[in-house]
Structure 1
Amino acid sequence: MVEAARILFGEHGFHGTGMAQIADASGIRVGQIYRDFESKEDIIAAMVAADLSDFLDEAVLAQAIAMGDRQRVRRWVLDLMIRKQQPNDSTLLPEILAEASRNPRVAAIMREGDQRIRRHVAAALAMLAPHAESACARCVEELMMTLMMGGCSRRMALVEGDWQFLEGCMARFLDQQIAWLADHDDGAAAADHADA
């Protein structure tokens, strides 16, 4: 049912899709849909939660961090920044973002998703540059989030691009940011402050 709603929201928009259409497309009765989901916003929440689980590969990151595998953590960050989108994302994500601008419930769902992604990006950066100043780490985290969303937007806009070239650029950028964080570690800052 959620997959049927995903396709319909992408094709007809959030407001252009009714529960009856979702029922017809999924083969599930309207009454059953309302037993599982009180509103279309609850369907969006289920979509976002499922998509984030697929997108984040949380188990992969957790295992890489637990093993101290810097290369796997670095690969996870790169995948997050340039991950290929789902087939329907070019129509569905803009629809959800537009709905978030006018619907407080959908905006809250998107903020929760943003915070979930941020927690994982912060954990990855903490592993890659464990002693980085918190303000510097926050700056890099924000850049990563912005680049990730920018990459999604370019794909949604069907911008032709050399995605392999982009991956190389992102890899160099990530390595520069990790090196910058290593140069701004809390221990060195505290020692410099004590010497002054």
Structure 2
Amino acid sequence: MHNVGMPETAGPAETNRAAIRRNKVVESARTLFAEHGFHSTGIAQIATTSGIKVGQIYRDFACKEDIVAAIAEQNMAVLLDEDGLRQAIDRGDLAGVRTWMIDLILRKTTQDDASLMPELLAESARNERINAIMLQCDARIRQNTVLALCQAVPDASDERVAIAADLMMMGVCCRRIALVQDDPAQMDSGIRLFIDQQIASLSGT
């Protein structure tokens, strides 16, 4: 993911202010992109909504695509919980790995995120930078999914793990696109069964 770095001379207070400022821009852009679309949202609108001047936004983000990259990075941090997965793996906690796989699909989707995903997918078809960002996200989800499956079923072949990972990623994509406000019990139960079936299939049980 592309991140605009702070100057090396920036002190802790300045760095914190910059992080707060950048977050205001990112959150304002997230809402505006979801409501009006990427093309119909300009930097001036983001400035008005965020309260950050246009010139400052351009010092933090070279272009709108950089803001999308920052949004994607935030989404990946929440969606993947990579630290949680690695901690479960380090502990040899197979139940924790299974829980991570379930949460990967069932983590709550906000209204803005649900509206934003189809917009970004459509934009990626005509914007090379957005397409690159989406491909990076896809690769990162797949890498972590394969890691979890290999931990859960270490003897499974690479080919079968790859197929199971692709099936799980389809579930993640559908879940993130769906305009879902809550997680119904039926959805929760179905996803848990789906994950268990994938693990059972890989283990041959």
TM-score (norm 2): 0.84
* Paired residue type of 2:117: L
Matched, 1:35 2:59: yes
CA distance in 1, matches of 2:64, 2:101: 32
Equivalent in the alignment of 1:163: 184
Aligned pair in 2 of structure 1 residues 78, 162: CA closer, same or farther (>3 Å)?
closer
Matched, 1:69 2:93: yes
Equivalent in the alignment of 1:172: 193
* Paired residue type of 1:116: R
Deviating 4+ runs (over 2 angstroms) = 160-163
* Paired residue type of 1:13: G
Tell me, which stretches of 5 or more residues in structure 1 are unaligned?
185-196
Tell me, which stretches of 5 or more residues in structure 2 are unaligned?
1-24
**Higher helix residue share:** 1
Q: Identity of counterpart residues, as a percentage?
A: 45
| More divergent stretch after superposition (89-98 vs 65-74) | 89-98
The alignment yields a C-alpha RMSD, in angstroms, of: 1.6
How far 1:11 moved relative to its partner? 1.2
- Residue-by-residue CA offset, 1:57-112 (whole Å, 9 max, x unaligned): 11111100000101111011001112210231122111111111111110000000
Equivalent in the alignment of 2:139: 115
1:82 to 99, 103, 106: 106
* Paired residue type of 1:29: K
TM-score (norm 1): 0.87
Q: How many residues are paired up?
A: 181
Residues 108 and 182 of structure 2 are in contact (CA less than 8 Å); yes or no, is this contact kept in structure 1? no
